[in-house]
Amino acid sequence: MSPLSTPSRRAFLGAAGAIVFSGLAGCLGRWNYDAAALERELQDQIMRVPPGNLPLADGYLWSARETAERSASVLAERLSSLPNHVSPDNPSVERASKHLKWGRAAITESTTQQSTSAMRRVREARTTLGRGHGWLDTAVGPAETDGLREQHTNLVRALARSWTGVEYRATTVSVGIYVASVTEQLLSEAASSLESVDQALDGVDSTDDEKRARLFAAAAAEIAHARAALADANAVIGRQRTQVFEGTPSLRDPMTVAARNLLETTEADIESVTPVSDDRPWVVREVLDELSVRPPRDVRDALGADRPATALSNLRWRRQRLTARERLDTDTLSVPKSSEALVSSRRAALDALQQARSNVGDPVEQTCVRQAQLKAINGDRDLENVVSEARSTGARTTKLATEAYARYVAARTLAEAAKPTATRLTQAVANELGR
């Protein structure tokens, strides 16, 4: 799982308006930024690191995309031949049309992406089209829930079988961790969707027509998502099984023991992190906030549910942040008082990302680099806000610039922490495998 962002804190600062900013302005000062220079810097886009490759049978992605296209074709046909009692202006029909458009756009986008990203986009397309079918069902009405309940029951049984088939053997420890974690994630997605179906169908009997239609469409979407996630997981499981020798040892137990040991160490390290005191400079607090680490309760939950790869994945981002904090020299942090200082922080982040990307050796490390990349991308979004603000009143540019700076600093240290983090995780499992 990815770490939670901190929108509540930023939202609070934004909502407090002039009162909060006046306090910050006294500490930060107000500095002018060259919007044109920053805009030119943003033209040098961050090179995206794709997710690791997954073992997929030849033609699987084409087959999944074809399934989505069939759903889109059927929905288009239904919309073009509405019953006489259904008006094209019916709100539910209009919603179905929008979801058809969005679903087709997602299918088209998937054709330009690397296989792992494309598979996710096709899954999203199938979910969107499922919701479109649900909306149209409510327009044609009355929407019957029996069919959805039967599909739900069948998918719950299929999901239970898939959990027992997760493949923990692999050609390397890193590949084993990565593929198993993605498989567990896909099955967890399916399980979550099926739980949502239960909740939605329980409310479909509402006397409120709008609420009933919305819940029915949501249930149809979650059924489609569960079906797609389950198909993707089974495709990964099946292909992984054909790519390793029968005598290859399972990594399930080594992963479990390694995750438990790392959990103990991580909990101790988190407890030893000194809380950021209010008397620290605001820029320091902002950077440390970007590298905050919450208690690993989800790791315990994953281990309790016998999902060791998920436990390691949830430990991975925490270990990466802890390592980044260790490497961070807070004495060098300062409010970016010029466009040059802001550009310099971005350049340092991009250089660190380039270095990390060029030395990626395995999919676990690749995932760590992607975490750093995401932080830099978020920094660019802040920088875009600096450009916009600098061209208007300029009243909040220093605050926005400092937030962008904090994310670039965090991205740089996370990129530097990628390799040692990945090495620690894979070595922990390898050590247990060798025992």
Tell me how crowded residue 246 is: count the other CB atoms within 10 A of its CB: 6
Q: What is the pLDDT of residue 394?
A: 65
Q: Cα separation of 307 and 121, whole Å?
A: 25
Residues 389, 377: Cα–Cα separation, whole Å: 19
From the CB of residue 85, how many other CB atoms can be counted at a distance below 10 Å? 9
Q: Poorest-confidence range of 100-114, 377-391, 419-433?
A: 377-391
- Give the pLDDT confidence of 190-210 residue by residue, as tens digits: 999 999 999 898 887 766 788
Residue 53 clears pLDDT 70, i.e. is over it = yes
pTM: 0.88
The pair of structure tokens assigned to 151 is 């599909």
Query: Which of 28, 9, 39, 11 is closest to 389 using CA atoms?
Result: 39
What's the rounded mean pLDDT across residues 11-34?
Answer: 50
Nearest to 254 by CA among 52, 54, 1, 425: 425
391 vs 236, higher pLDDT: 236
Res 76 pLDDT > 70:
yes
pLDDT digits (tens, 9 = 90+) for 170-183: 999 999 999 999 99
List, for residues 218-269, the tens digit of each pLDDT value: 999 999 999 999 999 999 999 999 988 878 899 999 999 999 999 999 999 9
Backbone angles phi, psi at 328, to 5 degrees: -80, 125
Ramachandran area for residue 59 (φ above 0: left; ψ -120 to 50: alpha; else beta): left
Least confident of 202-211, 382-391, 402-411: 202-211
**Two structure tokens written together for 303:** 């281990």
Per the document, the length of the chain is 435
pLDDT at 22 over 60: no
Q: How do residues 292-344 score in pLDDT, each as one tens digit?
A: 999 999 999 999 999 999 999 999 999 999 999 999 999 899 999 889 999 99
What CA dihedral angle connects 200, 203, 205 and 207, to 10 degrees? Answer: -130
Residue 47 — pLDDT band, cuts 50, 70, 90? Answer: confident
pLDDT band per the 50, 70, 90 thresholds, residue 276: confident
CB count in 10 Å sphere of residue 187: 26
- The two structure tokens encoding residue 15: 């909502």
Residue 30 pLDDT: 58
pLDDT at 393: 64
